[in-house]
Chain A
Amino acid sequence: MTGGVVIGGWEYVWAAYGITFGALAAYGVSLWMRVRKEARAAREEQG
């Protein structure tokens, strides 16, 4: 930081975006895998 102005800082930007989208993608994939498993089980229950 120089004279009250932040210089650079792209590494913080990439960290924030990377963690956010990484976590959301991981949660989305885990949800989708559980839904697929349950949907298959539901189809088997119905015969």
Chain B
Amino acid sequence: MGLDLLPRPNPRGPRIGLALIAIAVVLLAIGSYIGLFRAPPEHYMGEVQRIMYVHVPTAWNAMLALTVAFVCALVFLFKPSWKWDARLEAALEVGVILAFLLCVQGSIWAKPTWGVWWDWDPRLTTTAVMLAAFLGILALRRFVEDPIKRATWSAVGTIVAFADVPIVYFSVRWWNSLHQTQSTPETVDSAMVLPLRINAFGVLFLMVGFLMLRSWLAQRRLAQELAPPPETSRPSTSEERSLASTLELGGDAR
């Protein structure tokens, strides 16, 4: 079984991750510059609409990261391997960070346009539930010490929590929501498409770069956690083994 093998983090992983992050920084700088200073203001929302150039890419990539977590959870359960558990941990963490930023950006955008920081409308409520559910799974991973139980429980939890992700996406179509329907390059003015596309790819590269670094760290930690104890700490003589077994049974060796 794959769980018998220790994870072997790819030594090139961090370099590839860093290269992707460097590309993301360039893309986000260009996309944000165009979005902030070159794209026209929206007719009704004026300058505030410029939040869209970070809000929409964050939303897409938060859902994508959580979809990656869902896929990793499924693969782990059907073909157990520590590398999938490490990837699951990475995708959960990156997805939660993006989902949290999504809520903060949405709240900042809501204040000048809706007059409130928060409203319990279907889109916002389902997003808050999604964030809380995946945050709970990350907390679960912190509390469970047994690596096999931790990996299995968090994989099952991820699959259950993922049921909310399509609900978040379709909530604005299924219910009468205060939140507008999805913004895509097809639904916004052509002058707004370029910064939206560039920032979408920027956040995508950043997300994948973060996933690679975080997954490498998770594999390193798992390798240390699962490594057998050093030979020197094992009892060698029959007398030592007898003493060790007495101690393990809770008896008094003296």
Q: Taking A13-B47, A39-B14 as contacts, is the C-beta distance between A32 and B112 under 8 angstroms?
A: no
Q: B72 — which chain A residues lie within 8 A by C-beta?
A: none
Chain A residue, CB-CB nearest to B217: A34
A12 CA to B217 CA, complexed, in Å: 36
CA distance A4 to B115 in the complex (A): 12
**12 additional contacts (CB under 8 A) given A6-B47, A10-B47, A13-B51:** A6-B113, A7-B46, A8-B47, A9-B46, A12-B51, A17-B51, A17-B54, A21-B32, A23-B97, A24-B97, A31-B210, A39-B14
Interface residue B21 (Cβ < 8 Å from any Cβ of A):
yes
Interface size class of B (residues with CB under 8 A): 35 or more
A28 CA to B24 CA in the complex, in Å?
Answer: 12
Task: Encode contact with B along A10-36: 1 for CB under 8 Å, 0 otherwise.
Answer: 101101110111011001100110110
**A31→B45 contact, CB < 8 A:** no
The yes or no answer to B87 lying at the interface (CB within 8 A) is no
Interface pair B58/A20, CB less than 8 Å apart? yes
Q: List 21 contacting pairs A-B, 8 Å CB cutoff, sorted by A.
A: A1-B115, A5-B46, A6-B47, A6-B112, A6-B113, A7-B46, A8-B46, A9-B47, A9-B48, A12-B109, A13-B36, A13-B47, A13-B51, A17-B54, A20-B54, A27-B97, A28-B21, A28-B210, A35-B217, A38-B217, A38-B220
In the complex, chain B residues 41-85 whose Cβ is within 8 Å of any chain A Cβ: 43-48, 50-51, 54-55, 58
User: In the complex, what distance in Å separates the CA atom of A23 from the CA atom of B220?
Assistant: 25
Let me know if B206 is at the binding interface, CB within 8 A: yes
The A interface is mostly helix, strand or loop, or mixed, namely: helix
A interface bracket (residues with beta carbon within 8 Å of B) = 20 to 34
Q: Is the interface of B mostly helix, strand, loop or mixed?
A: helix
Q: What chain A residues lie within 8 Å of B210 (beta carbons)? A: 27-28, 31
B238 smallest CB distance to A (angstroms): 33
B112 partner, pick from A4, A12, A20, A35, beta carbons under 8 A: A12
Q: A13: shortest Cβ distance to chain B, in Å?
A: 5
Report if B194 contacts A (CB, 8 A): no
For the complex, what is the distance from the CA of A34 to the CA of B217, rounded to whole Å?
8
Q: Which residues of A contact B21 (CB under 8 A)?
A: 28
Q: Nearest chain A CB to B102's CB is how many angstroms away?
A: 9
Minimal beta-carbon separation of A12 from chain B (angstroms)? 5
- Cβ A19 vs Cβ B108 within 8 A: yes
Is B18 located at the chain interface by the 8 A CB criterion?
Answer: yes
Question: Which residues on the A side are within 8 Å of B113 (C-beta)?
Answer: 6
